[in-house]
Chains A and B, each alone.
Chain A
Amino acid sequence: MYDFEDKFRNMQLQYFLLLAAALFCIGIYGLITSRNAVRVLMSIELLLNAVNLNLMAFSSYLDPLEIKGQVFTVFVITVAAAEAAVGLAIILAIYRNRDTVDMEQFNLLKW
């Protein structure tokens, strides 16, 4: 157990940040290319999770006493849940009216 924690400490901060950055980029990719609106919402969750990862990493490496980053993460998760709920509600409403969740179809408003 002690060994693991030691290893963890020896892992450099960069790896976490790189992972977070990669997750963020995947999120962006999914956000832009998905045709299904629900998948787009999921991609947004990826973006936020990348942020969470960042915050957690910084919190444990740089701010282990006050762990403000961890608190921040809790808030981000909560807000993300609220956002997802609202997002799903909107998608539900749009599905009722249009019978589709295809992003390509949603261009009534343009120009």
Chain B
Amino acid sequence: MEAIYQYAWLVPVLPLVGAMLVGLGLISFNQVTNRARQLNAVFVVSLLGAAMFLSVALLVSQFQGHAPYIRTLEWAAAGNFHLTMGYTIDHLTALMLVIVTTVAFLVMVYTDGYMAHDPGYVRFYAYLSLFSSSMLGLVVSPNIVQIYIFWELVGMCSYLLVGFWYDRQAAADACQKAFVTNRVGDFGLLLGILGLYWATGSFEFEAIGDRLQILVETGSLSGLLAGLFAILVFLGPVAKSAQFPLHVWLPDAMEGPTPISALIHAATMVAAGVFLIARMYPVFEGIPAAMNVIAFTGAFTAFLGATIAITQNDIKKGLAYSTISQLGYMVMAMGVGAYSAGLFHLMTHAYFKAMLFLGSGSVIHGMEAVVGHDPALAQDMRMMGGLRKFMPITAITFLIGTLAISGIPPFAGFWSKDEILGSAFAANPFLWFVGWATAGITAFYMFRMYFSTFEGKFRGNQSEIRQKLKSAAANTLMSPSPLAPNFGPGAMDTRELAALSDDSHGHGHSEHPHESPRTMTLPLIALAIPSILIGLVGTPYANYFEEFIYPPSETLAEVMEKVAEFDQTEFFIMAGSSVGISLIGITLASLMYLFGKIDPAAIASSIKPLYELSLNKWYFDDIYHRFFVLGSRRLARQVMEVDYRVVDGAVNLTGFFTLISGEGLKYLENGRAQFYALIVFGAVLGLVIVFGVT
């Protein structure tokens, strides 16, 4: 048993090796590597598979009660400053390892089908592998510095992958938006880490928490400051887990290929924020103000995401807002102290949301056969409908995911969501109410999505809708000028692009969408199983999950006691009410989109302001654009005008002076050896004189 712990470092290293080898191959033998597509894919996938088996073994061993394992080695030591790095395997880590590796494994298998025609196929696998490695590294980190390093790496992979189709203007913009938004959060996180180190002198989670507690109690650190640090740290998760107000990047990030959306922007990376909160729980726990901030941020985000998701027509955007909403649930759970409930939801959500995204990818893949490679058409639900006939497997799995996210028992989402709502009710009924209402909205928009995609009749060949969407897409683009392929860093060459457009011609314009290839449907089926069943490990009757995952400040006995306190009637009331509102949502959705009894357009026009509010994403993008982008531009211009001569002048002068002095000093090298010798002797003489005088 010890052996698997000693080799646990292989879990993040194996995918890294894969990424490195494939990357090196791409750099040095580009054509050969690109030709051996499947070979590369099999190599990368099998390495990740090995990591997955190791993770499962670790989870089993942890579940059997093996003590947490930490192995560190000194990374940099100078004087009394020690920085260690290594890995730690405890319950939380083991769980996360299994989640990440299984989802990543399935997504990689899926990618083979989805990216089959893409010229960047091999590059995509290299990035995916690099991402998996960074994410696994983040999960096993024993201290906050290492987490931060991997946090940035994970972010970097995310930008690389969002901008994977960098020749699309939207993808490039989205990548930039994600970068800037995350920078805000990461900066807060870094400040928080440094502040906590300054206060406690430690980078270890438990030590920070304990010492902070003592410092605050003895009064040597004001509670205000401790709260500030905690909230600064929380800014990191806010950005990464797309919480209000930094949620704006996530929907745009859906410009990336769908497997990325599934793996990074639904199942794993965005959950890293929640994971960090869990890791830093010893810190947050002792600061009620911080906990409140976390809880209310989460609740508001959950509501916000759900309300926006109602009106989205792009299938991936809709799922993105639903992800934001679900992440809000998790964060709220963390904030109200429902540690294990939050992580439980993280796990169930990872599986069903990955499945939903992969399903949407499968739909898009099928639609592309009809409408061609145009994201404005292929992803729009108004073009879909009736797809169940053409792609039954996708439809069934998507329905399972929809049921799971809507909280219908016995699907996975029900148990986790119910646990969160129960804890929220105990903490603050208002939070419960928000969560409860959100659950209803969730059920409504998810079924709206399902019905308009898979039921009814196929609308993909109606040219008037297509025309309308095309013109709408053209209008929304700020600059409707034809997109000139941008050859920046990392650019493919033109031949590849030509190959891409050839593809779309040869591939599109068939009458009906088709079911996706087996490499894509198999992962869907595989993910459907946990989406149905995984919730059963955390039923209130036999809550194995809570026995396994509990806050570091509690002992197993306390947890068992709590679990034993379970009240049957209370559970039925809570569960009943949340299932009830879900059912109301589903009924509403079916009336509107399945049977057409209620005309959604009529409702929309009757509550136009609200509809517009939702459709325009609560105007966040516009507000940010106006306030931050334009505002900062205006401010910058004013500052520039005022300080034009002072600051700019000074900076320019320094730079100018440096350059000029460089230019000037270089003429001291006049190329004459004897002049050089003169300087040597002169310098010696000068130094002697200096000493002679002093």
Contacts and interface: CB of A to CB of B under 8 A. Distances in A.
A106 B673 CA distance: 8
Nearest to A33: B674
A28 B672 contact: no
Interface string B657-694: 00000000011011111100110010000000000000
A32 B677 CA distance: 7
Nearest to A103: B674
A-B pairs, 4 with minimum CB distance: A110-B671, A107-B671, A32-B674, A111-B666
A108 B672 CA distance: 9
A48 interface: no
A103 B673 CA distance: 8
Nearest to A110: B671
Nearest to A29: B681
A94 to B, nearest CB: 12
A110 B674 contact: no
Nearest to A107: B671
A31 B677 contact: yes
A6 interface: no
A3 interface: no
A108 B671 contact: yes
B674 A31 contact: yes
19 contacts: A28-B677, A31-B677, A32-B677, A32-B678, A32-B681, A33-B674, A34-B674, A40-B673, A40-B674, A103-B673, A103-B674, A106-B672, A106-B673, A107-B670, A107-B671, A111-B666, A111-B669, A111-B670, A111-B671
Interface centre among B667, B672, B674 (most CB of A within 10 A): B674
Interface string A90-111: 0000000000000110111111
Contacts of A111: 666-667, 669-671
Given A40-B674, A110-B672, 4 more contacts: A33-B674, A40-B673, A103-B673, A107-B670
A33 B672 CA distance: 11
Contacts of B667: 111
Interface of A: 28, 31-34, 40, 103-104, 106-111
Contacts of A32: 674, 677-678, 681
Nearest to A31: B677
A91 to B, nearest CB: 12
A103 B672 CA distance: 8
Dominant secondary structure at the B interface: helix
Contacts of A110: 669-672
B680 to A, nearest CB: 10
Contacts of B669: 110-111
Contacts of A40: 673-674
Give the one of A34, A106, A111 with max B CB within 10 A.
A111
A31 to B, nearest CB: 6
A109 B674 contact: no
A106 to B, nearest CB: 7
Nearest to B672: A107
A109 B678 contact: no
Contacts of A103: 672-674
Contacts of A31: 674, 677
A32 B672 CA distance: 10
Nearest to B667: A111
A28 B685 CA distance: 12
A28 B681 CA distance: 8
B519 to A, nearest CB: 62
Nearest to A109: B671
Nearest to A37: B673
A25 to B, nearest CB: 10
Nearest to A28: B681
Contacts of B670: 107, 110-111
Nearest to B685: A28
Contacts of A28: 677, 681
A109 B681 CA distance: 21
Nearest to B670: A110
B672 A104 contact: yes
Contacts of A109: 671
Contacts of A108: 671
Q: Which of A31, A40, A109 has the most CB of B within 10 A?
A: A31
A111 B667 CA distance: 6
A103 B667 CA distance: 18
A33 B673 CA distance: 11
B440 to A, nearest CB: 76
A67 B371 CA distance: 98
A107 B674 CA distance: 11
A32 B671 CA distance: 14
B38 to A, nearest CB: 55
Contacts of B666: 111
Contacts of B671: 106-111
A14 B672 CA distance: 36
Contacts of B673: 40, 103, 106
A9 to B, nearest CB: 31
A87 to B, nearest CB: 12
A19 B672 CA distance: 30
A31 B674 CA distance: 7
B254 to A, nearest CB: 55
A43 B53 CA distance: 77
